[in-house]
């Protein structure tokens, strides 16, 4: 039993080394004093200084942040009300619709990107518009919404249905009930969904590549274009910053979920103690 346990730990360690060793090398060489990708020549921050002085990269970063913030905010609103709608449905309708909602999450990005590109090109031929910032934003909103719904639904399942009915019995309209009763109860799920949506938008390349057109570039698209030419150490610096941002957001989401779970367990134990 001990040997099997040790073997499992070794396999886990090797898996993590395989996954993260290249990222560690990338981060280390983003501080390398020369352009060499194999020889360490001393510590420097010159590549980060050049990075922040590059207008193309800074413009792409601005576009990425603008799209990510706007898309995650809109997706949080739409996804929250969609989740409330699913929750209010009968079970025989809710199950199939939630399955449909999960398709974009498990679907390959290349399929989502190509299908959205074909949709926007076809609609643009009729409505006279081209691929650009607007289509990029719509594409990000479309693949962000399912993640928000998946984050909000568990909080709705934990919600006492009697709260909704009690608020309406006391004279609240449907909107007042949602705004004053439901939203405060499911707010942790909404925030988690917002952070996940923002992370997915910042990290996206494939969908952006097919829906942005030639006039707009996100940071991931700029990095891809740079790698097709001679690789500059600035790519290491960009990738390091992007990895750090995504890692911080994921840590925040996981810490929030752990704190919420701890609070729920504490509340449940307190209620159990009162009943006993």
Domain ranges across the chain: 55-245
**Average of pLDDT values for 123-133?**
89
Tell me the pLDDT tens digit for each residue of 139-179.
Answer: 999 999 999 999 999 888 887 777 777 777 777 777 777 77
pLDDT of residue 160: 74
Residue 55 has pLDDT above 70, yes or no: yes
pLDDT at residue 119, rounded to an integer: 93
pLDDT at 140: 95
pLDDT confidence of residue 92: 83
pLDDT at 272: 66
- What is the spatial distance between Cα 103 and Cα 207, in angstroms, rounded to a whole number? 15
**pTM for the full predicted model:** 0.79
Give me the mean pLDDT over the 209-225 stretch.
Answer: 87
Specify the pLDDT at position 275.
60
Specify which of 6-10, 183-187, 209-213 reaches the highest per-range mean pLDDT.
209-213
What's CA 92's distance to the chain center, in Å? Answer: 29
**Are the beta carbons of 212 and 221 closer than 8 angstroms?**
yes
Higher pLDDT among residues 199 and 37, named by residue? 199
Dihedral sign for Cα atoms in the order 78, 81, 86, 90: negative
pLDDT band at 70 (very low <50, low <70, confident <90, very high): very high
Tell me the fold of 55-245.
MetI-like fold (1.10.3720)
pLDDT confidence band for 69 (50 / 70 / 90): very high
Give percent of the chain with pLDDT exceeding 70. Answer: 94
pLDDT more than 90, % of the chain: 21
From 81-90, 125-134, 207-216, 223-232, the region with the lowest mean pLDDT = 223-232
Average pLDDT over residues 50-54: 83
Contact 151, 189 (CB under 8 A): yes
Cα dihedral 230, 233, 239, 245 sign: negative
57-66, 72-81, 237-246, 261-270: which has the highest mean pLDDT? 72-81
Q: What is the CA radius of gyration of the chain?
A: 23
Mean pLDDT (the chain, rounded) = 84
Q: What is the DSSP letter of 33?
A: S
């Amino acid at each position: 039993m001990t040997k099997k346990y040790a073997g499992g730990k070794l396999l886990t360690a090797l898996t993590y080394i395989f996954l993260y060793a290249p990222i560690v090398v990338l981060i280390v060489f983003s501080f390398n004093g020369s352009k060499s990708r194999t020889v360490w020549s001393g510590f420097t921050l010159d590549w980060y200084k050049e990075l922040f002085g590059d207008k193309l990269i800074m413009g792409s970063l601005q576009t990425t942040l603008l799209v990510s913030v706007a898309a995650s905010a809109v997706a949080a609103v739409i996804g929250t009300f969609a989740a409330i709608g699913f929750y209010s449905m009968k079970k025989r309708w809710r199950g199939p619709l939630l399955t449909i909602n999960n398709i974009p999450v498990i679907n390959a990005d290349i399929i989502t990107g190509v299908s959205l590109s074909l949709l926007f090109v076809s609609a643009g031929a009729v409505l006279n518009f081209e691929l650009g910032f607007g289509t990029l934003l719509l594409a990000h909103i479309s693949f962000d919404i399912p993640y928000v719904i998946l984050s909000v639904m568990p909080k709705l399942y934990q919600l006492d249905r009697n709260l909704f009915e009690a608020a309406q019995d006391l004279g609240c309209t449907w909107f007042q009930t949602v705004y004053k009763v439901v939203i405060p109860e499911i707010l942790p799920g909404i925030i988690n969904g917002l952070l996940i949506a923002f992370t997915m938008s910042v990290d996206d390349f494939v969908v952006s590549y097919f829906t942005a057109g030639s006039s707009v570039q996100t940071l991931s698209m700029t990095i891809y274009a740079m790698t097709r030419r001679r690789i500059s150490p600035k790519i290491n610096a960009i990738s390091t910053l992007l990895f750090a941002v995504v890692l911080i957001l994921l840590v925040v989401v996981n810490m929030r979920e752990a704190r919420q779970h701890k609070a729920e367990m504490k509340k449940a134990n307190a209620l159990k103690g009162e009943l006993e």
